[in-house]
Amino acid sequence: MGFTGLARWLNAPPTGLQLVRDNLVLNHNAQFRGKWYLSVKSYRSQLGQIPGYQIPAERNMYALTLDENVFILLEDPLAPSRADVLAAAPPGQEAAYLQSPSHYRNTFLTLKPPGGLEQLLAQIKARWISVRQTSSSNTQRNQTSGQQLIIDGQTFAIGTDWLVRIGNVILAGGAVKGMLLEAEYLPLPVLHSAIADGTSELLSNLLTSILPNIRDAKTVAVTISDAQWEDVLWDRDEELKGTKNTGMNVQDDDPYAWDSEDIMEWKQGDWVGVDRDQRSAFLIMGALRSEGLL
């Protein structure tokens, strides 16, 4: 798997999917590789309904299912962000301040198998309800399993270097709200952009070229900078572990020992395997939330 870029075609016409497909096949010699399908559900907590419990704002949860993984974003509007805590910390005390909050505003995690989240919520009778119901029934099953939005489309290959995914954004009632386009450059698992918002010129050019030439088309890039992504994936336990291990390296006097400090190791967040899907899922949920679709 390679480095990926996303774009939204906000005002795509009903024929948008076919137009992009025709452009891919005719002008890029693209080959069909299969379907692209993912679903997104959103939930809201009901903690305020607990007798004697006062809460100024409820929490939100978004779950995106892609293949065998479910990517979950939990949002607590009352909790501080990691950036807020770092900004308030005196110089040299950042690590200690980061350990003080019980949790931060956003928590991002991956679960499997699909359907496991709904089973867990039902089993523990968690106070979460689907934001937009597909059924008028008030049963617990319907409260936690309402389908809200899907992205339904196709995947194409351009030569051996590119995979392109295109899909309609379809609401629960069947209304189509534009399209999502994803381009994946297979030769590079990591590509750090020099642009502050994380936009890659290579991917932007490819995504622009596959869009049909339609007047007044509204398209936006869906991006996140490396710094912002590291903030999303920040792990309290891993950072604490790293702080404890600081200064524990011992000089090796073995004449046959070799220095490997300059070798880049894999780190969480690279564009490989489930981490690539993680980043795509986070960007997709962020784009849909900003448009009020979740």
Tokens of 16: 């948008």
Taking only the tens place, the pLDDT of each residue in 64-77 is: 999 899 999 999 99
Q: Which of 150, 180, 203 is nearest to 7 (CA)?
A: 180
Residue 64's pLDDT is 95
Could you tell me the pTM of the whole model?
Answer: 0.79
Residue 58's CB is within 10 A of a number of other CB atoms, namely 19
Work out the average pLDDT over 128-137. Answer: 64
Please report which confidence band the pLDDT of residue 50 belongs to, taking 50, 70 and 90 as the band edges. confident
Mean pLDDT value of segment 54-63? 88
Find residue 6's DSSP bridge partners.
Answer: 182, 222
**What pLDDT does 237 receive?**
59
- Measure CA of the first residue to CA of the last residue in the chain; give whole Å: 28
Check residues 129 and 176 and name the one with the higher pLDDT: 176
The pairing of strands 3-9 and 219-222 is antiparallel
Length of the chain equals: 294
pLDDT bracket for residue 147 (50, 70, 90)? low
The distance from CA 123 to its chain's CA centroid, rounded to whole angstroms, is 27
Is residue 184 within 8 A of residue 3, CB to CB? The reply is yes
DSSP code for 47: G
Residue 176, burial from CB neighbour count under 10 angstroms (0-12, 13-18, 19+) = middle
pLDDT one-digit tens code per residue, 237-280: 566 555 555 545 555 565 544 444 444 444 544 445 677 788 89
Contacts of 160 (CB under 8 A, 6+ apart): 186
Per-residue model confidence (pLDDT) at position 236: 63
Over range 156-181, report the average pLDDT: 94
Dist. CA 37–CA 35, nearest whole Å: 6
Question: Quick one: tokens of 184?
Answer: 């994946």
Radius of gyration of the chain (CA): 22
pLDDT confidence of residue 167: 97
CA 108, CA 118: separation in Å to the nearest integer?
A: 17
Q: Are 162 and 31 in contact (CB under 8 A)?
A: no
10: CB partners within 8 A, 6+ apart: 178, 218, 219, 220, 291
Q: Which residues of 217-253 are buried (b: 16+ CB within 10 A; e: fewer)?
A: eebebbbbeeeebebbebeeeeeeeeeeeeeeeeeee
How many angstroms separate the CA atoms of 4 and 283, rounded?
11
